[in-house]
Structure formats: C-alpha cells, structure tokens
C-alpha cells in the first residue's frame, strides 16, 4: 500500500467515526521552546489545557513533524526519519481508553478490501504504563490480546509529554513483530528493531511542569477533562506494509536513493557505510524541502542551523559517495515529485524551495574549497616537519570555521597518508559542546509561556507566519 493511501485511509476511518478533519499545522510554531512541531497534538494544546473550547469533540489530522533529536538515528536505525507524518485521532473530553483501543485495532487489522491496513493480529503487541491495569484489561477485552503480548513499561516509553510544559499522560503503544529473523524474542521491551512501534495512544489527563528532561518532570495535576491524543507513524506503517527493510526504502523516500545511485555511480545495498549515506541523503532531502516550504531558511542558529546542517550533510554524503557534480537540484526535484500528491503546495512554491537548497549547496561547496586550502597547508607543514599527524586544533578549526565534518578531514588525511589527532579534536568539541549546553540549559529554565499556543489556535492552525518571524530567536 502506497504511503498516500495509508494517509487517506487513516483520515477516512476516523471521519466515519465522527472526527473532524483538521489540516496539518506548519512545522514552525512561534514558540522559542519548541524548535519544530514534533507531534500531532501540538496544535491542540489549548484545547487539552482547557484554555479554549474546541469547535469539535473529535478531530483527526496528519501532522507534518520534524524531530531533530533523531538526526543521529537516520540511516542507522530502521525506523527514524527526521521528517515524518504523524496521523492522529483526538478526543477532547469525549471518548477515552476503551473506545480508542477499539478504533485503532479495527483500522490496523481490518482487511485491505474493507478499508483497513490488513495487519496480522497475531503479530501485534501492546504496552501500557506500569500501573495501568485498566489499559491492559481493555487490550484483552477489545482486541483479544493474550497476556504474553502485553508489556508494562516505565516513564521513558509509556508516559508521554511534548518534552516541555504542557499536557501529558500515560500511554499505551502498539508494536508490530517483524519476526525472529529481525531480532530477539521478548517483545518491544527486548528489541525495538524487531518489534516496530507504530502507534502511540496517549491518555492525556495531566499537566506537566518544568523538569530536566523527557522522563524527569513534575506533574502539576489533572487537566480539566480527560482527553485522547494518538500518533501513528505513517512512514512506519508504509515500511511494514510495503515489506521493505526500513523507513528509507518506502515509495516516498527510496526514489531519492535511486537518484543518488545514478549521480554517484554506486549501488545501494552493497556496503553498509555507503548505505547509511544514501539513507541520510534521502531522509534529509525530504526534511529540507518540507522545512523550506514552511519558511525556514539556512542560518547560523536555531531553526536555520538545523536546516543548514541537514543540507550540508546531504552535500557531504553525496560527495563521499563519489558524486562530483552539484546534486541538490536533482534531490529536491525528486522529493517534490514524490510528495506532491499529499502536499501540492510544493509544486507551486518549488522555484523558491529549490533556490534556497541549491544556494546552500553552492555556499558549502565554496566553504569546502577554502577549507581544503587550509587543510593542504596544514598537511604540508606536518609533512615538512617529518610528522604524520594533523593536530586536533587544526581539525577543530576546519570544523568550526569551515564547517568541515571530522569524517571529511579524516578522509582527506588518509588520502594524503596522514593521521588526525582525533582525541585532541574531540576534547575541543566536548569543551564547545559543554559551553553550548550551559547556554541551552539557561534557556530551558527560562519561563515557558504557554500563551503562544492560545494565540496559535486563535490565529487558525494553517496560517503561515511569514519569513521574518521564523528567523527570530528559535533555540536548538
């Protein structure tokens, strides 16, 4: 089943169950504490908090999400995109646990001919928060799941929050077992690469305060009403239904890999390291297009820096694969062609999207060539002094001033028959990181102003906020 179809079936299923379809909000919300929208519920926060009365009791959406925390996972795990579509159904003080389990179960397990996804019920597992006996009983009653396929998990996995103050609650998650050839027995608790998480059902009933992290925060108390918030990963369902090996090989992402194969003359699937690069290109090209479409431009901090980093990783990965000519224009064109059916705005706005992406590619290629000069002179002086090793501080300057990733420096050094003082480099990086962390920490403990969500809802969820605002003081 094609990804566009998975998305459509989700909306149809919940519309039939009385949910009002709500369009995806922009990836960029004007909240300095939230870099990008990372879940479907974000645009509904004021309804959950009881600050606004929703115009409907039930809603359904497919929300564009970006999770920068998953950048390092891309291409390495089977299941993390930086951009993905979160399909969700929401109840604002209407139905609760029992109904939501039934709704999800029906969509997942109904035969394809009847509008469902046709997953084999025998391969589905569920989890519940530690003391949530009620949810466990519901899984047995409504879905007929046996005890062995229900697991209890703690705060980190089964207590959901946005990562910042706002609504939160215990959750129950749905996993699909890919089979013993993909990993260890023992359910999601044992192996999340074999048992793939597809859907999170959140029983949104409390409000969280500040705290130091995802799993460490205070619960301020109950929300005015009990709500339901769910998030199903559209790309994860596509990965499983299309029986490919990961989220990068689905119908919407794999065509970029094919383009990268063509431009580099290499074949995907022959070498692990190269495959990770192919997947990084495909994932990041899509995220970059979606971010630019929502008004982000490359910059040196906040949102702009995330975009810059994604675009540079594409250029670098393509270069390391052996593509010598500029390739950005091709990658973003393929993304437009695959994504346009669900996001027609990409076609109208394409000239601008392409020029932003290609402009950054050009700038980085220039950077690469001036950085290469610095590299050459460092290499020459090392050789002239009879040494074999480029200093950590040179590698750091190359990284910090010229945007040279360390693996690029390492590769160039190896080509010149030299080594790099990687420990020295890492020490300097760690020092820089702890300075940045101290900064971020200071910002995190600044007061979070939830009124932005109120304004957001008042303004209407789909309104575009303009380019100037987006360059403001967003934090990483």
* Site of interaction with ligand ATP (CB under 6 A): 67, 70, 79-81, 84, 86, 197-200, 231-233, 235-236, 247
Residue 231 binding partner per list Mg ion, ligand ATP, none, with a CB distance cut-off of 5 to 8 Å that depends on partner kind:
ligand ATP
> CB-wise, 61 or 264, nearer to Mg ion?
61
Q: Please, what is the minimum distance in Å from the beta carbon of residue 67 to Mg ion? A: 7
Q: Tokens for 168? A: 């939160």
> CB-wise, 199 or 217, nearer to ligand ATP?
199
> CB-wise, 237 or 314, nearer to ligand ATP?
237
> CB-wise, 67 or 303, nearer to ligand ATP?
67
Q: Please, what is the minimum distance in Å from the beta carbon of residue 472 to Mg ion? A: 27
Residue 312 binding partner per list Mg ion, ligand ATP, none, with a CB distance cut-off of 5 to 8 Å that depends on partner kind:
none
Nearest 10 degrees: Cα torsion 303, 308, 314, 320: -140
Residues in the chain: 476
> CB-wise, 247 or 314, nearer to ligand ATP?
247
The whole-angstrom separation of Cα 150 and Cα 127 is 5
Q: Please, what is the minimum distance in Å from the beta carbon of residue 173 to Mg ion? A: 5
In the complex, the residues that contact Mg ion under the rule CB under 5 A are: 197, 200
Residue 86 binding partner per list Mg ion, ligand ATP, none, with a CB distance cut-off of 5 to 8 Å that depends on partner kind:
ligand ATP
Residue 199 binding partner per list ligand ATP, Mg ion, none, with a CB distance cut-off of 5 to 8 Å that depends on partner kind:
ligand ATP
Q: Please, what is the minimum distance in Å from the beta carbon of residue 40 to ligand ATP? A: 8
Q: Please, what is the minimum distance in Å from the beta carbon of residue 232 to ligand ATP? A: 6
Residue 208 binding partner per list ligand ATP, Mg ion, none, with a CB distance cut-off of 5 to 8 Å that depends on partner kind:
none
Q: Please, what is the minimum distance in Å from the beta carbon of residue 95 to ligand ATP? A: 19
> CB-wise, 235 or 249, nearer to ligand ATP?
235
Residue 236 binding partner per list Mg ion, ligand ATP, none, with a CB distance cut-off of 5 to 8 Å that depends on partner kind:
ligand ATP
Q: Please, what is the minimum distance in Å from the beta carbon of residue 175 to Mg ion? A: 9
Residue 81 binding partner per list Mg ion, ligand ATP, none, with a CB distance cut-off of 5 to 8 Å that depends on partner kind:
ligand ATP
> CB-wise, 74 or 314, nearer to ligand ATP?
74
């Amino acid at each position: 089943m094609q990804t566009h179809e998975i998305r459509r079936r989700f909306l149809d299923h919940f519309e039939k169950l009385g949910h009002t379809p709500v369009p995806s909000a922009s990836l960029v919300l004007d909240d300095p504490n939230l870099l990008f929208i990372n879940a479907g519920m974000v645009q509904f926060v004021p309804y959950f908090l009881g600050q606004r009365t929703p115009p409907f009791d039930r809603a359904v959406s497919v929300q564009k999400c970006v999770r920068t925390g998953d950048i390092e996972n891309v291409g390495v795990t089977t299941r993390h995109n930086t951009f993905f579509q979160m399909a969700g159904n929401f109840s604002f003080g209407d139905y609760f646990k029992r109904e939501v389990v039934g709704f999800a179960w029906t969509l997942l397990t109904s035969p394809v001919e009847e509008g469902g996804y046709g997953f084999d019920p025998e391969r589905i597992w569920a989890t519940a928060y530690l003391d949530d006996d009620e949810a466990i009983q519901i899984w047995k009653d409504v879905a007929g799941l046996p005890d062995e396929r229900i697991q209890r998990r703690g705060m980190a996995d089964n207590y959901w929050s946005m990562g910042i103050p706002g609504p939160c609650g215990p959750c129950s998650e749905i996993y699909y077992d890919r089979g013993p050839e993909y990993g260890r027995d023992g359910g999601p608790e044992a192996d999340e690469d074999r048992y793939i998480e597809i859907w999170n059902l959140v029983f949104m009933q409390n409000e969280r305060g500040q705290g130091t992290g995802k799993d460490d925060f205070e619960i301020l108390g109950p929300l005015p009403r009990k709500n339901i918030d769910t998030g199903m990963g559209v790309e994860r369902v596509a990965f499983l239904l299309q029986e490919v090996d990961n989220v990068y090989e689905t119908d919407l992402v794999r065509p970029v890999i094919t383009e990268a194969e063509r431009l580099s003359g290499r074949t995907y699937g022959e070498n692990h390291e190269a495959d990770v690069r192919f997947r990084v290109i495909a994932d990041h090209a899509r995220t970059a297009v979606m971010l630019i479409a929502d008004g982000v431009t490359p910059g040196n901090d906040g949102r702009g820096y995330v975009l810059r980093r994604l675009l540079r990783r594409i250029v670098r990965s393509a270069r390391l694969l052996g593509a010598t000519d500029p390739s950005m224009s091709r990658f973003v064109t393929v993304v437009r062609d695959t994504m346009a059916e669900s996001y027609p705005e990409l076609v109208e706005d394409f000239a601008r999207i392409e020029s932003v992406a290609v402009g950054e590619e050009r700038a980085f290629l220039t950077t690469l060539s001036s950085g290469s000069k610095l590299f050459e002179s460092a290499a020459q002086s090392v050789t002239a002094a009879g040494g074999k090793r480029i200093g950590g501080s040179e590698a750091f300057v190359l990284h910090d001033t010229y945007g040279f990733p360390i693996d690029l420096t390492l590769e160039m050094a190896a080509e010149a028959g030299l080594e790099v003082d990687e420990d020295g480099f890492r020490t300097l990086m760690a020092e820089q990181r702890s300075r940045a962390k101290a900064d971020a920490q200071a910002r995190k403990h600044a007061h979070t102003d939830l009124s932005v969500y109120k304004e957001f809802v008042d303004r209407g969820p789909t309104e575009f906020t303009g380019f100037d605002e987006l360059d403001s003081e967003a934090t990483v």
